[in-house]
């Protein structure tokens, strides 16, 4: 016989493997560290351990002893004798390979047969009495009966049974009633035949996680020859995902019941092979682990079929997005999360305007191209944590979860509308669509998810009826507010073009010398009908629709030109601080690099500009903030932390982030005269900032006493109405050249 098909040629005889199985009495599964070759993991301990003989002379007699039978528990799967676990009515709950062959039943489908039906009728009274005694006995009961078996038409057997450990079933050992030696030889031959022709893989691994035996089916499952698998480590047949799965299952079943587990292997040709494995530890007489014996079933086709069915049930085949079924499941999940927290979620219902015309004019194939490209554009406007789904046709939905500000919703809606308004290139043919978006909020608009979807749909219809290329809220109040914001947004766009923005400057005074060599630039909007507006009245709207980026770029360039003039007329080292919002901070680095180019064009040192950020910026993705500050410092720009003490940062953050100036918030300065604690806090901030090599600016200084206390505390700079209010550039220059009047203590 060729070695590829002879189990006896594969690392030892079948009898030797039966001997090893005899020592493999049941034990608990144990965890496995992929970094260590031993101990070997119990992949998922089999329910069916096996008795046989061992080299020390232990024979099947050992399992005939009442004490050993009670102690053995589940017998091993590959035992050369029949093993059954029977329910109270003799239903076969578990059966090993030999037992299944003995009765001619499928081992994979327990519960379909009653053992009693295989007993020859004349022996039924004996069997019934034996079975009743065994069910109520912890020690082994014995009986001889005749069975109707497919291989010989009938045969005398010896039954040995006892109640299992739970008392809910009977363990039954079935041995043919012939001489011990003949029985063993017959069992060994049967074992050899079963191992050789088994439709399931048999894999034995030693305590060092190396392969010691495989049958032909096991080698076939992974695409190797038997010789190629022998002596190879278990982990060499796995990729990183498979190794992680092995570790999780080993740890997860360290204390659990032995059950079959799914594992992922890599075949010789590189394909992924999914298997279901039942395994048992092989133990010696002292209980030490010798390895693992595993029964392996190839479930790759079933797994792939299951995954395909699941994917088809949950994803849109055209765009690859979640479909209605998964969308509703995600929506249900997110609303439950919103119920547990303080945040709300927004549901966006999107319909493509003019899509039907594209289908009618260019055909459905090109219409599909529009849908695929539209899905990509919409996805680029949302966060990875948001859910984008296609409900069908040209309808898309988005779940925006974990929100705390309505401006975030509008910013995304504006971005989607702008992205979909761009032309679609369909193999050289240009097509145009726009988007109508309906917005419903949970829980304000609806607490039932079906009602929430319906109201978002109604809001979308309202947007479409209003002409499309816009969004609409379901709630009238929110819709009116949104319309007001959109009106302001339109005015802001015009303000940029018509140069309606103005910059005023507030002096930053040196508390040691009284000189004015620094200033903070503050933006104002001279609205044509509402007059001069402060930043609080329009900056939030500019942030929500993204116009703040364009406005901020204009402010930077205007300030740079002004600094250049003041370095010539007031002080060559003059600095101006410019405020930057979190939205500007998230922009790509290209914008900031263009600033550096502009400063070089003016011949202006980069440290002439100080970028002011608030504490909140530091917590919007620390890694991104660190990288952006690093880029600022590399350009030569300096950074000031504004409103220090009002947020959640601490002095430890000043060391982590690249900061040059700390600006003490005006709320602390305002109470310096009357609140000893605030004075102590200001003194501590100043002292520790100096220890870190930072300069300190106090904001909102309005009285001479406040100024004197800050001087005594060692504060470097101050700004506030006690010195001067914000003023146009010409007034500022005249004041600086005339000299800031010294204030008495």
Give yes or no for residue 159 having a pLDDT over 90. yes
Given a contact cutoff of 8 angstroms between Cβ atoms, the answer to whether 26 and 136 are in contact is no
Greater pLDDT, 199 or 605 = 605
Confidence of residue 443 (pLDDT cuts 50, 70, 90): confident
Confidence of residue 565 (pLDDT cuts 50, 70, 90): very high
The per-residue pLDDT for range 229-281, each reduced to its tens digit, is 999 998 899 888 777 767 665 544 444 444 568 888 999 999 999 998 887 78
Radius of gyration of the chain (CA): 40
Q: Quick one: 461 and 501 in the same domain?
A: no
The per-residue pLDDT for range 66-95, each reduced to its tens digit, is 334 333 333 356 667 888 999 999 999 888
Confidence of residue 185 (pLDDT cuts 50, 70, 90): low
> How would you class 383 by CB atoms within 10 Å of its CB: exposed for 0-12, middle for 13-18, buried for 19 or more?
exposed
Give yes or no for residue 478 having a pLDDT over 70. no
Give yes or no for residue 38 having a pLDDT over 90. no
CA-nearest of 127, 139, 132 to 174 is 127
pLDDT value of residue 96: 82
Consecutive H or E run containing 128? helix 124-135
pLDDT value of residue 632: 78
Give yes or no for residue 500 having a pLDDT over 70. yes
Q: Quick one: 184 and 329 in the same domain?
A: no
CA distance 322 to 386: 12
E-strand stretches of 536-667? 575-579, 609-614, 638-644, 661-664
Give the domain-ending residue among 414, 441, 474: 474
Domain encompassing residue 88: 11-200
Q: What are phi and psi of 472, to 5 degrees?
A: -140, 140
The per-residue pLDDT for range 399-424, each reduced to its tens digit, is 998 876 777 888 899 899 999 999 99
Q: Quick one: 447 and 509 in the same domain?
A: no
* Cβ count within 10 A of residue 305: 11
Q: What are phi and psi of 182, to 5 degrees?
A: -65, -40
Cis before 39? omega within 30: yes
The per-residue pLDDT for range 524-555, each reduced to its tens digit, is 999 988 889 888 888 877 876 678 888 888 99
pLDDT, mean of residues 726-738: 91
Q: Quick one: 537 and 629 in the same domain?
A: yes
C-alpha atoms less than 13 angstroms from C-alpha of 183 in its C-beta half-sphere: 21
Confidence of residue 33 (pLDDT cuts 50, 70, 90): very low
CA distance 520 to 706: 20
pLDDT, mean of residues 146-165: 80
Q: Quick one: 498 and 443 in the same domain?
A: no
> How would you class 66 by CB atoms within 10 Å of its CB: exposed for 0-12, middle for 13-18, buried for 19 or more?
middle
Q: What are phi and psi of 385, to 5 degrees?
A: -80, -10
Q: Quick one: 457 and 521 in the same domain?
A: no
pLDDT value of residue 261: 81
pLDDT value of residue 559: 95
pLDDT value of residue 51: 35
Domain holding 167: CATH number?
3.30.450.20
Q: Over the chain, what is the mean pLDDT?
A: 79
pLDDT value of residue 42: 35
Q: Quick one: 431 and 531 in the same domain?
A: no
Confidence of residue 586 (pLDDT cuts 50, 70, 90): low
Domain holding 342: CATH number?
3.30.70.270
For the record, the structure tokens of 454 come out as 């319906």
Q: Quick one: 499 and 466 in the same domain?
A: no
CA-nearest of 43, 175, 168, 42 to 96 is 175
pLDDT value of residue 54: 36
| Residues in contact with 357: Cβ distance below 8 Å, sequence separation at least 6, in sequence order | none
Q: Quick one: 461 and 553 in the same domain?
A: no
Judge whether 270 lies within some domain.
Answer: no
Domain holding 705: CATH number?
3.20.20.450
Of 121-135, 221-235, 236-250, 283-297, minimum mean pLDDT range: 236-250
CA distance 354 to 332: 31
CA distance 686 to 96: 79
Judge whether 166 lies within some domain.
Answer: yes
Judge whether 700 lies within some domain.
Answer: yes
Judge whether 16 lies within some domain.
Answer: yes
The per-residue pLDDT for range 345-394, each reduced to its tens digit, is 999 999 999 898 888 888 888 999 999 999 999 999 998 889 999 998 89
Give yes or no for residue 560 having a pLDDT over 90. yes
pLDDT value of residue 547: 82
Confidence of residue 186 (pLDDT cuts 50, 70, 90): low
Give yes or no for residue 172 having a pLDDT over 80. yes
pLDDT value of residue 619: 58
Judge whether 258 lies within some domain.
Answer: no
Q: Quick one: 433 and 555 in the same domain?
A: no
pLDDT value of residue 647: 55
DSSP assignment of 12-71 equals S-HHHHHHHHHH----------TT-S-SPP-SSB-S-B-----TTS--THHHHSHHHHHH
Q: Quick one: 414 and 559 in the same domain?
A: no
DSSP state of 425: E
Give the domain-ending residue among 169, 200, 231: 200
Give yes or no for residue 13 having a pLDDT over 50. no
Helix (H, G, I), strand (E, B) or coil at 288: coil
Judge whether 720 lies within some domain.
Answer: yes
Give the domain-ending residue among 156, 184, 200: 200
Q: Quick one: 583 and 506 in the same domain?
A: yes
Give yes or no for residue 473 having a pLDDT over 80. yes
Confidence of residue 40 (pLDDT cuts 50, 70, 90): very low
Judge whether 541 lies within some domain.
Answer: yes
Q: What are phi and psi of 691, to 5 degrees?
A: -60, -30
pLDDT value of residue 70: 35
Domains in the chain, number: 3
Give yes or no for residue 41 having a pLDDT over 60. no
Percent of the chain with pLDDT over 70: 77
Give yes or no for residue 21 having a pLDDT over 80. no
Judge whether 101 lies within some domain.
Answer: yes
Give yes or no for residue 53 having a pLDDT over 60. no
pLDDT, mean of residues 172-201: 72
The per-residue pLDDT for range 662-720, each reduced to its tens digit, is 898 888 888 888 878 778 888 988 998 898 889 999 999 999 999 999 999 999 999 99
């Amino acid at each position: 016989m060729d070695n590829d098909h002879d189990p006896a040629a594969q690392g030892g005889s079948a009898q030797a493997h039966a001997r090893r199985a005899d020592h493999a009495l049941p034990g608990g599964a144990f965890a496995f560290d992929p970094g260590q070759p031993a101990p070997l993991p119990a992949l998922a301990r089999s329910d069916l351990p096996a008795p046989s003989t061992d080299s020390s002379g232990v024979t099947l007699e050992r399992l005939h002893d009442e004490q050993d039978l009670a102690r053995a528990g589940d017998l091993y799967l590959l035992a050369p004798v029949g093993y059954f676990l029977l329910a109270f009515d003799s239903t076969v709950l578990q059966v090993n390979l030999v037992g299944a062959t003995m009765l001619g039943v499928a081992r994979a489908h327990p519960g379909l047969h009653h053992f009693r039906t295989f007993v020859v009728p004349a022996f039924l009274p004996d069997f019934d009495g034996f079975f009743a005694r065994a069910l109520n006995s912890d020690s082994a009961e014995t009986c001889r009966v005749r069975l109707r078996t497919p291989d010989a038409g009938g045969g005398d057997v010896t039954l040995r049974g006892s109640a299992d450990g739970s008392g809910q079933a009977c363990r039954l050992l079935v041995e043919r009633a012939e001489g011990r030696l003949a029985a063993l030889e017959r069992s060994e031959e049967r074992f050899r035949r079963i191992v050789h022709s088994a439709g399931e893989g048999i894999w034995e691994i030693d305590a060092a996680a190396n392969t010691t035996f495989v049958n032909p089916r096991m080698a076939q499952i992974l695409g190797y020859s038997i010789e190629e698998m022998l002596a190879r480590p278990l982990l060499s047949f796995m990729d990183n995902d498979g190794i992680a799965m092995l570790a999780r299952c080993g740890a997860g079943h360290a204390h659990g019941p032995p059950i079959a587990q799914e594992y992922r292997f890599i075949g010789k040709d590189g394909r992924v092979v999914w298997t279901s494995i039942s395994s048992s530890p092989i133990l010696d007489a002292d209980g030490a682990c010798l390895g693992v014996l595993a029964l392996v079933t190839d479930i790759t086709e079933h797994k792939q079929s299951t995954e395909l069915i699941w994917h088809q049930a949950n994803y849109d085949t055209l765009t690859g997005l979640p479909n209605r079924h998964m969308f509703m499941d995600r929506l249900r999940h997110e609303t439950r999360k919103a119920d547990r927290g303080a945040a709300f979620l927004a549901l966006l219902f999107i319909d493509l305007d003019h899509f039907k015309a594209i289908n009618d004019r260019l055909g459905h194939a090109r219409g599909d191209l529009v849908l695929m490209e539209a899905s990509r554009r919409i996805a680029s406007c949302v966060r990875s944590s948001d859910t984008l789904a296609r409900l069908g046709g040209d309808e898309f939905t988005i779940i925006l979860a974990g929100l705390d500000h309505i401006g975030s919703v509008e910013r995304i809606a504006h971005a989607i509308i702008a992205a979909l308004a761009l032309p679609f290139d369909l193999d050289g043919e240009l097509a145009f669509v726009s988007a109508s978006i309906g917005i419903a909020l949970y829980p304000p608009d609806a607490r039932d998810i079906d009602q929430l979807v319906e109201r978002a749909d109604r809001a979308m219809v309202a947007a479409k009826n209003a002409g499309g290329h816009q969004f609409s809220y379901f709630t009238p109040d929110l819709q009116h507010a949104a319309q007001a914001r959109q009106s302001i947004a339109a005015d802001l766009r015009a303000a940029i073009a018509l140069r309606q923005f103005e910059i005023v400057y507030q002096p930053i005074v040196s508390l040691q010398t009284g000189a004015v060599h620094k200033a903070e630039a503050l933006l104002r909007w001279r609205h044509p009908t509402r007059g001069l507006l402060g930043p609080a009245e329009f900056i939030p709207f500019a942030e929500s629709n993204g116009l703040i980026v364009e406005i901020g770029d204009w402010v930077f360039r205007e300030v740079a030109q002004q600094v250049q003039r003041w370095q010539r007329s007031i002080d060559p080292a003059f600095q101006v601080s410019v405020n930057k919002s979190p939205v500007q901070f998230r922009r790509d680095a290209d914008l900031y690099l263009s600033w550096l180019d502009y400063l070089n064009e003016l011949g202006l040192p980069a440290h002439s500009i100080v970028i002011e950020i608030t504490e909140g910026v530091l917590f919007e993705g620390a890694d991104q903030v660190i990288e952006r500050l690093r880029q600022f410092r590399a350009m030569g720009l300096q950074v000031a932390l504004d409103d220090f003490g009002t947020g959640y940062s601490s002095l430890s953050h000043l060391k982590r982030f690249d900061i040059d100036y700390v600006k003490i918030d005006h709320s602390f300065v305002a109470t310096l005269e009357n609140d000893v604690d605030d004075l102590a806090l200001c003194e501590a901030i100043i002292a520790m900032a100096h220890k870190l090599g930072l300069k300190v600016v106090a904001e909102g200084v309005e009285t001479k006493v406040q100024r004197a206390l800050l001087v005594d505390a060692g504060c470097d700079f101050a700004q506030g109405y006690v010195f001067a209010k914000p003023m146009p550039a010409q007034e500022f220059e005249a004041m600086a050249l005339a000299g800031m009047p010294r204030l008495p203590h």
